[in-house]
Structure 1
Amino acid sequence: MAQETLWIRLRKGAETQLIIRGGKEEQVTMLAARLYVKAHGKRRFVIALKYEGEEDYRYLVASDMSWRHTDIARIYTLRWLVEVFIQDWKAHCGWNRLSKQQGADGSQRGVILSLLCEHMLLLHPEQFVLLKNKQAGMPAGCLIERLNAEALLATVKSVVESEDPDTELKALALALEHTLPKRESSRHMAGRDLGEQKATDSLKAHARKFKLLDAA
């Protein structure tokens, strides 16, 4: 990036407001130029960007030079949407958490199952109405929570409306007891060998001897 660094030194960036992730605005310093990038072997749209309070520039290199540099910088702030999507997969769609097969094959199958889960959630009545009216859909986590609540309400309703609610309630409680896992917490040192954590008789004698020597 030697050419780009020299370009930075020769020019002063312009201060402007950049919309971050489609929401708040932040003060940034930017400058852009279409430069020949030796590592790529061709001309690229190079954008130097630094946020308020930063001393060093970060570089954005775009292959499509028909965009405005402000639009490229704005789209750059949306890159974390990929991380949010992956977090949704891990937390709510079973990817990586419920995987029974490790390695590349396991990850590939996990992604496929997660995608199927996402597509099935598109059929949820509330989600379907939102998308049909061209509104922003609900995230997977929100839909999963709604489905869990709907399932709980349906179960409670079936217990209440049954001919023998007491028996059905006991059966439900027993099923929940067998379903909920008992997990050991490594953070609380469960199942760890912590040693005896007490003084031994021989070392007590040594300690008394050292005290006598110190007193003398």
Structure 2
Amino acid sequence: MYKKIIITSMIYLAMTHSANADISKLISEDVSATTQAKVNFTADVTPKSASELSSVIDEINVNYPKLKRILLYINSGGGDMDSGRLAYWSVKNSHIPITTVDVSMTASAATLFYCAADQRYALPGSHFILHPASISIPSGDAKPNDVDIINRNINLGNEIFKGIYKKCTSLSDAEIKTILYSEQGSLSLNPQEAMKIKLTTNITKDIPLSNINYYVTSA
């Protein structure tokens, strides 16, 4: 019998991905005139990286409550669905408004917290990947009940995607169903295409300077 089932959404499943993430920060001695903070998330979506992103958002809210905005720059191929949903709620519930920005790639579970912001930007040349949830399982024989459990958990992952995509895109239920059924139906979008379905609200070339900078990176 399968001992462990993990809902995941990594694009490049054949690659080896680190489960660790690190936080670093660069903060000026004088932030009195600073109106926005920058957070750079360049990591796989894991329990650790999502928790660290959540802690960074909390720290900025506690230490700099008068800021007007947090800019969250994302470059991630995705990862664990539950971790992506944790990051989604962290972005969604920030007292300081967060603008998410696709720097290079925002894929799979990373699209969950990209979608959490009302203002969603993309840099020229960046892209998005929307595709189904998948299951990571040990090798071995599968009994009928194991298949039922696998299907149930994949459906749970896809329901997470569906609920969020219905809120942050103009895709129809039928289009979302196609995306979440197979890799053949997945979408790879440039910024202009993402704007057409309202996944992205603006294309920008600017990465403004800030006196408050945080970095969540794969270790």
- TM-score by structure 1 length? 0.21
User: Based on CA coordinates, which of the two structures has the bigger radius of gyration?
Assistant: 1
- Larger RCO (CA within 8 A; separation ≥ 6): 2
The structure with the greater share of residues assigned to strand is 2
The structure with the greater share of residues assigned to helix is 1
- TM-score by structure 2 length? 0.21
